[in-house]
Amino acid sequence: MSMKPDNQYAVEVTALEKKFGSFTAVDRIDFSVRRGEIFGFLGPNGAGKSTTIKILCGIILPTSGAGTVGGYDIIREQEQIRQNIGYMSQRFSLYDDLTVEENIQFFSGIYRIPREKKKERKDWVIKMAGLEEFKTRMTSVLSGGWKQRLALGCAIIHEPKILFLDEPTSGVDPISRQRFWQIIQSMAESGVTVFVTTHYMDEAENCDRLALIYKGSLIAVESPQRLKAEFMKESVLQVIVPDAQEWLRQIEENAFVKEAALFGTSIHAVVDDAEKAIRSLKEAFLRKNVTGFRIDRIPPSLEDVFVSLIERYDESQKN
């Protein structure tokens, strides 16, 4: 499977829009994805992620706009797109009543792998996924992590150059998630373009670039590093205090704090003026005779950046 050689981008869309009746699910968005790039597509539930992926995978048509996937037109060449991409959803799309080998054989038939190449591709999937000792087992008995690897193997058995992953590690343990991303990074290094949605901020750090979609609009597209360095205008304070849960509401209500949220056993507070906020929070703790607290200015996390961008977008829509 291959992309048209004359196209510089694996994915490119312009003014992409999708309406369902009077509801706009995707609101005239523009972006492009380079070949061999790991491109993260992030946003809260209902933001437009799944609708965009369905358009790009040739499942539904846009209301307006234009785009290409692998050089194929998203409106006129949907069948060619479906033949030249891999797709994996959080539901794995496997058959529990088949063995590992039988699932692989089934998908090799779906993707029309030539007969003389089927064994080679089956052996490759089993080795890539580390499933050698499980190949004759029923898929139903596999853990979530092993099912995930098998599903990935089935999605790429036909060697697509573009892979769409929709929440692929949802509900999978941290070790399996880490192993999964090692495989993804290896694929990207070999030239495969990976378009992935995820809710895990630590996973998002693995992406070359991230796009944040919110209420159908694309509000930021940049590398994780530049998002944290350039898009966060406010400062972030890490507040370590006994009974953090009980203090959260009071910190949120502080005049110098824009917002606050629990991060493990500490609190992250977003502020415009760090010095004034630190001084005010210290005074509040001392008034209550609190000891053992600590307030530090820290670099923003991706989650801090995304929350800030979303709030900024909401504010702009009010004006």
233 band by pLDDT with thresholds 50, 70 and 90: confident
**Residues 152-192 pLDDT 10s:** 999 999 999 999 998 888 777 888 888 889 889 999 999 99
Q: What is the mean pLDDT of residues 251-267?
A: 92
Mutual orientation of helices 174-189 and 144-155 as an angle, nearest 10°? 20
CA pair distance 148, 8, nearest whole angstrom: 31
CATH class for the domain made up of 9-228? alpha beta
Residue, of 5 and 249, whose pLDDT is higher: 249
CATH entry, 233-299, from 3.30.70.100, 3.40.50.970, 3.30.365.10, 3.30.1120.10: 3.30.70.100
Average pLDDT, the chain: 91
Q: In terms of DSSP bridges, do strands 38-42 and 64-69 run parallel, antiparallel, or are they unpaired?
A: unpaired
SS3 assignment, position 179 = helix
pLDDT-derived band at 4, boundaries 50, 70, 90: low
Q: What pLDDT, in 10s, does the model give residues 33-71?
A: 999 999 999 988 889 998 999 999 999 999 999 999 999
CA separation for the pair 224, 207 (Å, rounded): 7
Domain ranges of the chain: 9-228, 233-299
Contacts of 221 (CB under 8 A, 6+ apart): 31, 209, 210, 211, 212
Q: How confident is the model at residue 312 (pLDDT cuts 50, 70, 90)?
A: confident
The torsion angles phi and psi of 217, rounded to 5 degrees, stand at -105, 145
Q: Once rounded to an integer, what is the mean pLDDT over residues 246-258?
A: 95
pLDDT of residue 5: 55
What three-state secondary structure class fits 201? helix
Residue 256's Cβ-count burial label (10 Å; 0-12, 13-18, 19+) is: middle
